[in-house]
Amino acid sequence: MENRETKYIFVTGGVTSSLGKGIVAASLGLLLKARGYRVTIQKLDPYINVDPGTLNPYEHGECYVTEDGAETDLDLGHYERFLNHPTTQANNVTTGRIYQSVIEKERRGDYLGKTVQIIPHITNEIKRRIKLLGRNNEYDIIITEIGGTVGDIESLPFIEAVRQLRYDLGKDNSLMIHLTLVPYLAASGELKTKPTQHSVRFLMESGIQADMLVCRTEHEIPKETLSKLAQFCNIRLGSVIECRDAKTIYDVPLMLHKQGFDKIALEGLNLPAEKEPDLKDWEKFLHNHKKPQHEVEIALVGKYVSLQDSYKSITEAFVHAGARIQTKVKVKWIYSGDLTEQNVKEVLGDVDGILVAPGFGDRGLEGKILACKYARENNVPLLGICLGMQMMVIEFARNVLGLKDAESAETNHATPNPVISLMDEQKNVAYKGGTMRLGNWKCDLKEGSKIKEIYKNNTIQERHRHRYEFNNDYYDEFEKAGLVLSGVNPDTSLVETVEYPNHPFYIGVQFHPEYKSTVATPHPLFKAFLEASLNFKNHKK
């Protein structure tokens, strides 16, 4: 497709939070990309944290890491999984980042002594950030999701910036999509439109007229209700789209496409819409996902299991890899703090595979170590990610090397056997935010190793988020005892992967493979893990 001026689509939400703006934005991005357009999606978050890196997973869910090392909102994971295209630092910005940038400019004297205010300085910085992705003409369309709910005090500067930007861009160069809730009252047996009308009215009071309305609902919306919404929200009838609850988020693109969502959006941007999107691969994925031939149960052993969004990329990676091998993955959520010597066999005895999840801090670590020991001794397929790999190393040190006091320096600085130690470059770091080993790093895979067989490459690049590493002072001891240190960073000699060859599948990785799994390209490590788990299930006695 020929180069053309970048156009912008803005997605806002009303009535309540957690309506699925990220899924709607990702679905539209997928449909437009399938029509041949170059698309990316960005998220504007109204909280004052500079990034989500220091947020509690219980409050905010997973922190998603991009290739270039940005700690971002979990919605960016949805964008990458749907579009099969990497995001960057420019795809996510918070109020905190905006204010930090403006204050730094003020301190440098960039504003020439002027009084720094929300308008124009904050709004100008927001506009600059929105347009950052479009400056090199790399994309035809940029979709911008605005976090929070219309009417929130935190969102007001973003809404005003979008109003100004739409004015600057001119007619046909931007589109406003408003996502709202149409609740069903069981007592009266009817859908209520008033919350949506109020939400759209507040948007209009802010100077923005929505071009399209996406209505989240449990039930089918009658035509007369759609007509009422169109009339009272001042939106063309065909541009009011129903988005009913779906069994899986991956149904949403097809549901929206059937109603002409992507075509209407292109018409609103005055872009050609004749080419139908090629969705055959997506439909095949959905078929395999919904009609699997096999099933495995995987124990996910972690600290934050009470909020499953804390491991969103892992569970979605199971979906992608499972569909590829026509296998349903049933996740058994296990809080690692509940595992003991007495109950570990009872809790893990019926599963087909174990994933020891990433995390931080000392809570629940002994439970993760017990899970690693159980998997190693009973030949249960095990995948350890980040902290999970570190727990595999500690378990092996204690129970195979005989170093009973082996620990991580993260939880015990005084341990005589710190088999996991703080990275050298982290020793003088004073700030918590944005200072870990982040983003893509190279890893050379050892000849003859299982992980090289899985990746089918000599060198790989995966995304990281950690401060602690395998302590190379113990390198030879582990190798002699049979734990193969199968992946090493070529520049730092940091051990990235470990595996136990006397086991059907016992692999730990310091990186986060789940971040690179997409619908189009399931991650080979997850696929191999599920295949090993399925094989283990089929050979159970």
Question: CA 184, 189, 191, 194 torsion: positive or negative?
Answer: negative
Q: Which of 386, 443, 464, 531 is catalytic?
A: 386
255 in a labelled binding site: no
Angle at which helix 75-83 crosses helix 21-34, to 10 degrees, equals: 20
Omega cis (within 30) before 504: no
Q: Is 220 a catalytic residue?
A: no
64 in a known ligand binding site? no
**244 annotated ligand binder:** yes
Q: What are phi and psi of 461, to 5 degrees?
A: -130, 125
Using CA atoms, how far residue 69 sits from 63, 120, 147, 285, 462, in Å, is: 12, 30, 21, 30, 11
254 labelled binding-site residue: no
516 is in an annotated binding site: no
Say if residue 415 is exposed, middle or buried (CB neighbours under 10 Å; 0-12, 13-18, 19+): middle
443 is catalytic: no
Q: What is the rounded distance in angstroms from the CA atom of residue 521 to the CA atom of residue 210?
A: 35
CA gyration radius for the chain? 25
Instruction: Report d(CA 179, CA 191) in Å as an integer.
Output: 16
Q: Is 309 labeled as ligand-binding?
A: no
Is 451 part of any known ligand binding site?
no
Q: Tokens standing for 113?
A: 């002594």
Which tokens in the block code for residue 411?
Answer: 């939880």
Side chain identity at residue 251, one-letter code = D
**Is 192 among the annotated ligand-binding positions?**
yes
Please tell me the distance from the alpha carbon of residue 144 to that of residue 24, in angstroms, as a whole number: 11
19 in a labelled binding site: yes
Catalytic residue among 462, 512, 523, 531: 512
Answer yes or no: is 193 a known binding residue. yes
Reported in sequence order, the residue ranges of 253-326 that DSSP labels E, i.e. its strands, are 294-302
94 is annotated as contributing to ligand binding:
no
Residue 152 labeled ligand binder: yes
Question: φ and ψ at 116, to 5 degrees?
Answer: -85, 125
Which one, of 270, 336, 276, 338, lies nearest residue 301 by Cα? 336
* Whether 514 is catalytic: yes
3-state secondary structure at position 355? strand
Pairing of strands 417-422, 468-470: antiparallel
- Residue 149 CA to residue 18 CA, distance in Å, equals 9
The answer to whether the annotation marks 444 as part of a ligand binding site is: no
Catalytic annotation, pick one of 215, 514, 523, 531:
514
194 is in an annotated binding site: yes
- Burial grade of 153 (CB within 10 A; 0-12, 13-18, 19 or more): exposed
Look-up: residue for tokens 């959520």?
333
Q: What is the DSSP track for 320-332?
A: HHHHHTTEEEEEE
Q: Can you tell me the distance from the alpha carbon of 487 to that of 84, in angstroms, rounded to the nearest whole number?
A: 26
The answer to whether 182 and 192 are in contact (CB under 8 A) is: yes
Is position 389 annotated in a ligand binding site?
Answer: yes
Q: Residues 45, 145: contact at Cβ < 8 Å?
A: no
Q: Give the 3-state secondary structure of residue 221.
A: coil
Ligand-binding site membership of 58 (annotated): yes
Q: Is 436 annotated as a binding residue?
A: no
The response to whether 246 counts as a known ligand-binding position is yes
**Is 230 marked within a binding site?**
no
Q: Is 527 annotated as a binding residue?
A: no
336 a known binding residue?
Answer: no
User: Amino acid identity, residue 118?
Assistant: I
Q: Is 105 annotated as a binding residue?
A: no
153 is known to lie in a ligand binding site: yes
89 annotated as belonging to a binding site for a ligand: no
Binding-site residues from annotation for Mg(2+): 75, 145
Binding-site residues from annotation for CTP: 17, 152-154, 192-197, 228
Active site residues: 386, 512, 514
Binding-site residues from annotation for ATP: 18-23, 75, 244-246
Binding-site residues from annotation for L-glutamine: 58, 359, 387-390, 410, 467
Binding-site residues from annotation: 17-23, 58, 75, 145, 152-154, 192-197, 228, 244-246, 359, 387-390, 410, 467
Binding-site residues from annotation for UTP: 17, 192-197, 228
